[in-house]
Amino acid sequence: MNIAPTSASSENPAQGKLVVFEPREGEPGDVWSREHGTLSLPDGWAFLEPGNTFVTRHVKKGPHWVLMGKHSRRGGYTPTLGVYAPGATIAEARRLEQATTEQRERKRKKSQIQRAAKEQKYRQNFEKACFDFLDFVHEHAELAKQIAREATDQACQVSSGRVGRTAKLELTKKVELAVRAYLRHNHTDYEEWLSYGTDEEEHRGLKAGAAVLACRSSKARFSLVSPQNTS
């Protein structure tokens, strides 16, 4: 188990920042640290449970001991149980939290508005890129707009893990994958093919590609071409 180095004072632990653990059963002291062994809590110190980011961040600016739990081999992490710090520091952090509530709420709302505007702009750009990628003839422009809009809604759901949310691909590649996936599931018999056990990798690109090309400017009319007729 690796714990980040601390800035503990070798002379007075109460003046430093330590990572500590609960002592083993039967051992003296309140906590144990790698630097100092078993330790008793300094007079006037209190325990701050996790959950309040503002208070915890403020408390950690001064001397404190972070209490860690047992390392989870299965989960691969070490939970933080809370922070020991001077009681006066914790009380001051709570007072400051109350005093700045309105200010932080205004800042939060402003940030929320900015994120919403950024998300709206991203979706607009994504939808336009989908429309451009489809490149349908003029007579099918409305269909292209519908596909672009619905493909964007499907691919760009926040926290969905779908292709529209990834930062690993360029926009053009994300758009191509999003449009093909939408066409595959909504304008072909792809789902029916899967129900009959048809190999997914063999046909999904072919079917979606045929559906896109059938509407593009090189074609005079819209039709959904089945794989056997795409030669």
Q: Which domain holds residue 173?
A: 107-229
Q: Residue 218 pLDDT more than 50?
A: no
Tokens of 197: 């056990």
Task: Based on the fold, state whether residues 92 and 117 are members of the same structural domain.
Answer: no
Question: What number of CA atoms fall less than 13 Å from residue 72's CA on the CB side?
Answer: 8
Task: Based on the fold, state whether residues 113 and 219 are members of the same structural domain.
Answer: yes
DSSP 100-124: THHHHHHHHHHHHHHHHHHHHHHHH
Task: Based on the fold, state whether residues 147 and 216 are members of the same structural domain.
Answer: yes
Domain assignment of residue 3, yes or no: no
Residue 92 pLDDT class (50, 70, 90 cuts):
very high
Domain assignment of residue 2, yes or no: no
pTM of the model: 0.53
Per-residue pLDDT tens digits for 99-124 = 999 998 999 999 999 999 999 999 99
Residue 78 pLDDT class (50, 70, 90 cuts):
confident
Q: What pLDDT shows up at residue 53?
A: 93
Q: What pLDDT shows up at residue 194?
A: 53
User: How far, CA to CA in Å, does 197 sit from each of 69, 112, 137, 203, 209?
Assistant: 49, 46, 35, 11, 20
Please choose, from the candidates 87, 153, 80, 167, the residue with its C-alpha nearest in 3D space to the C-alpha of residue 120: 153
Per-residue pLDDT tens digits for 18-50 = 999 998 888 888 999 989 999 999 999 999 999
